[in-house]
Every structure is written in structure tokens, then in C-alpha cells.
Structure 1
């Protein structure tokens, strides 16, 4: 790697930010662009280069008589940002999550903790949270627990049963995958448990089949079978299974469900009584209170 005359002809292209004669190492991207970088910068920021014998001996001798060329397998859009980061220069706005993941892999392979810490500090910005499952996968891969928790909360709006997420889910470690699935499932199951709780929803859960107690109208005593409430609970359960965030529960959209319409319209069959079984305002309030009590992170 001692000579580079074949790369100094008129066909050679240097990155405008990395073409100073102060650089004694030339990195070449997979697209052929050349980057002059001081060996000191590479040694002090990257464990990979710090242990490279040719760079260590260069440091010891203090010689700059030769410039070494090191080919890499990384494209310009990834290599350039990496070098900007380790050089303390301004970087462009992220263009895609794929680029960030590729950059993180480069940082990992070259043992560069500095750039990784910089990326981590911005990883929960709106740009990354727009793809929360990918963010969760990235955070768990690098062991970033707080970022993983934040990402897991934002995944609640996703239907993980949709095949669209299959590729990202398959990239997760078994432990991380189980934690995420457990979060989504526990919200659904906990909600069902509360919907069945007679102390929370007495109007719909009155009666006790075990003791033979039959639910009846609180005004006239006429028997009730609560089928409208059971169908409504079933709808809420499946909605929670589809979207653990439960954004629809208690919303205007929920009011359009046939099950909701039937539930609010249910009333005593005794024409003299005609009491409505389920108070809409009270029930919606309790539903929202239940959702607020559900677990939010892995």
C-alpha cells in the first residue's frame, strides 16, 4: 500500500472535503472516489485502524513520504458521512433509515464508538420514529434500552400480524421479538380482563353464572342477557389485537361500529320501564381510563 501514483492521474476524483495534502491515508469508496484522511484521525477514532500495523508504524516513524491507499467496500453516501463524523464536520440531513443502518454497520465493523454515540443521540427524533419497528430493531441490536422502550411504545399503532412487517420482525433477536409481542398481547389481554371486571363495568357484567344469579334490569327486575355488551367487548378485543395502541377505543370512529350502536341503544324490553342498560358517557370514560392503565413499553 506504499504507492498511489496510479490514482493521481486525471481520472482520479477526490471528495471535496477530503482532498488536503495533510492527509497521508487515502480511502477509496466502492464507487472509486478517493478520500485523503490523516492517519492520526483514523487511529484515534477507529479501533480497526488503531490496530493496523502499517498505520501504527507510520505513527511511530512520523514519516509522510508515502501515502497509503486503502480500498473499501462502502459507497460514497455512507463513507463520506462516516468521515465527516469522525472529523467533526457538519453532516447532511438523514435521507433514509437504510443509510443510517448501513452507517451503523460501518461504525461497528471499524470499531468507531464516537459516530455511534452521535447517531444514538438523534435516533428518537421524528425521522426515525416514523418507522418505529425498524427503530426498535436497531436499538435492540445495539443494546440501547431506553431507545428500545421509546420505539416499542410507537409500535403499538402497528398491526404486527400484517405481513408487511414480517421482514423486520424476523431480523429481531428472539428475546427482543418476544418482549415486543408480549407488550402488544398483554395490552389486549389486560383490556379484556378489565372489560370483564364487574367492579369496573357493573352494568354489562352483572349476574353470576356460577351461583345462578341472573342479570336483571335495575329498575324493573326484568331479565337481561347482555348480548349487546358481549358483542361490544368482543369487538374491542379484536380491535386491540389489530392495533394495541387502542386509538379507536373511545373515539368518534368507535361510535360507527354496529356493536357500539347496538350497545348504546340496548334498553329494557319492558315497555313500561324502557331503561337504557349502558350509560354511554360513563362507559366511554371508563374505557379511556382502562386504556391509560395499560402497559406502554417493553
Structure 2
């Protein structure tokens, strides 16, 4: 459909003198990308099919160089990043998931498998996994990126899924993947609790009736929400369950095997399955 926008500029990066097609971004601030059909055809079955269709008598052509114009529904920002990933120039840098998500969506729409391969590696970089593992998992689940979903699922163990705020990525995630994640959390939490319940402590200063009882109870609650050992074995979590000064003096000595028991417990919990 011919554009009615009066604000049309040309991309500074994609303004090739030997271009044979203009890809025009969505209104209102439209940008013309003067690019090569061959490169787009090789990168995307979508464009390959488009360029093999008979030319419509209503199709626009540019005034200056008579190049065919293809109007797209994507913004100039999205098209710029996509084209940077198919042309032999440096790939764009993604500093946050808000910028990355629409690029994944567009690459999936155009069936750009090489671009998707690169984006799959980007979404599981530590910066994203450490900060927003649930959003990463949701993106991977939406596009059936199985390996990336497994990687992200491990990082979600630090989250209480039922208290985690909703994100737009979760809206398009399948119930199958979400159920897998809930099941992994639940199964790991139960297994961790069983490991703790079965542990025995030997202490002449009654750790069992003071520290041990309190810690086991609190750890069971914590692991049911976040089934990862980092919190329950932290010094902060431990010391809030201390009940007497004699425990601090005796723990780790010949009179109390608490330290060794806790080390073994952490190893056992850390070894539990931690991906979907």
C-alpha cells in the first residue's frame, strides 16, 4: 500500500549505490534502506518468496533511482538491527531485553535462521541471565529454543515463581514450558527438603534442639520457594538461627559435627537436577 507519510529519510548505514531494492520502515518516521535483494534472499525465505513474486502494477518505485519500494510494518530500529546481522558489518549491541525481544520476534517472522542462531547466544549471556532469568526463559520458551530454556531455567531457581512479576514475554510463553518450570522447582524443592530432613547432627551442646531445629524449619520454607542452596547455607541465614554462644564456640569442634554435616548437605542439594 502506498505510504502517506511525508517524513521519509534514508538510512546512513544502508544506502548502497548498487542497491536494487528499497525496504521502507513503518510510519510515521519512515526510513528507506537501500539494500541488495540477493543478501536478503539468502538470509530469509520470507524475502526470497517476496522477490520471486510477479511485480505488482501498483508497486511503488523511488523517484531518484527507480528502485522498487517494499513497505514493512517494522520500525526503522528493528530493520536496522536485522540488516546489521545479515550484512558483513559488526552486529548490533543489545544492552537490555527490551531492545532484544522485538528483534527476536522479527527474525522469527522472517525465518532468519542464522540471525536467530546469533540471538540465541545473546539471550543467554550472563548479563541477561543474572538480572532477568525469567524473561530470558520466557523468550526461549516462546520460540522453542530448548537449550536456551534449559540454561535459563537453572537461573530461575533463585526466584519465587509465584511472586515474580509478569512480563510481556510471559504472555506468549506456552503453558507447557511454564508447567515444566513449575514442576522442576517443586520437584527440586521436595528433594532438597528430604535431604535436610534425613540429616543427623551430633552435638553435646544441644544444637539439635536450638540452631538445628530452627534452621531446618526455615530452610524447608526457603527451599520450597527458591530451591537453591545459596541462601540457606549463607552466614546470614545460619546466624539468624543461632540460639546460644556455646554453639558458636563448639561448632566445628570435636564436640559438634555441624560444619561437616552442612557441607555435605550443600553438596547434596547442589547436585540435584537443576534444569527443565
Q: What is the TM-score with the length of structure 2 in the denominator?
A: 0.80
CA distance in 2, matches of 1:12, 1:158: 46
- Cα gap change, 1:282 to 1:37, in 2 (>3 Å): same
Q: CA deviation at 1:118?
A: 1.6
Report whether the alignment pairs 1:261 with 2:262.
no
Q: Is the 8 A contact 1:239 1:246 kept in 2?
A: no
CA distance in 1, matches of 2:233, 2:221: 15
Q: CA deviation at 1:167?
A: 5.7
CA distance in 2, matches of 1:166, 1:45: 30
Q: CA deviation at 1:69?
A: 0.9
SS at match of 1:14: strand
Which residue of structure 2 aligns with residue 28 of structure 1? 24
Q: CA deviation at 1:288?
A: 1.5
Which residue of structure 2 aligns with residue 212 of structure 1? none
Q: Is the 8 A contact 2:202 2:258 kept in 1?
A: no
Q: CA deviation at 1:166?
A: 6.5
SS at match of 2:70: strand
- Give the alignment partner of residue 258 of structure 2, picking from 268, 277, 280: 280
Q: Is the 8 A contact 1:264 1:278 kept in 2?
A: no
Q: CA deviation at 1:163?
A: 4.2
Task: Provide Cα deviations, 1:203-260, integer angstroms capped at 9, x if missing partner.
Answer: 49xxxxxxxxxxxx8x9xxxx9957644432210111123222212222112332xx2
Q: Give the 5 Å matches for 1:30-179.
A: 30=26, 31-52=29-50, 55-56=52-53, 66-129=66-129, 130-165=131-166, 169-179=170-180
- Cα gap change, 1:105 to 1:167, in 2 (>3 Å): closer
The number of residues matched between the two structures is 259
CA distance in 2, matches of 1:181, 1:67: 53
Q: Is the 8 A contact 2:25 2:74 kept in 1?
A: yes
Q: Give the 5 Å matches for 1:206-221.
A: none
- Give the alignment partner of residue 252 of structure 1, picking from 219, 225, 235: 235
Q: What is the TM-score with the length of structure 1 in the denominator?
A: 0.75
- Out of 12-21 and 282-291, give the one that drifted further: 282-291
- Cα gap change, 1:227 to 1:254, in 2 (>3 Å): closer
CA distance in 2, matches of 1:263, 1:278: 14
Structure 2: 5+ residue stretches without partners: 56-64, 248-253
Q: Give the 5 Å matches for 1:14-25.
A: 14-25=10-21
Q: Is the 8 A contact 2:45 2:110 kept in 1?
A: yes
Report whether the alignment pairs 1:234 with 2:212.
no
Which residue of structure 2 aligns with residue 213 of structure 1? none
- Cα gap change, 1:232 to 1:263, in 2 (>3 Å): farther
CA distance in 1, matches of 2:127, 2:197: 40
- Cα gap change, 1:108 to 1:233, in 2 (>3 Å): same
CA distance in 2, matches of 1:32, 1:67: 16
- Out of 145-154 and 237-246, give the one that drifted further: 237-246
RMSD value, Cα:
3.3
Which residue of structure 1 aligns with residue 250 of structure 2? none
Structure 1: 5+ residue stretches without partners: 59-64, 205-216, 267-275
CA distance in 2, matches of 1:94, 1:140: 20
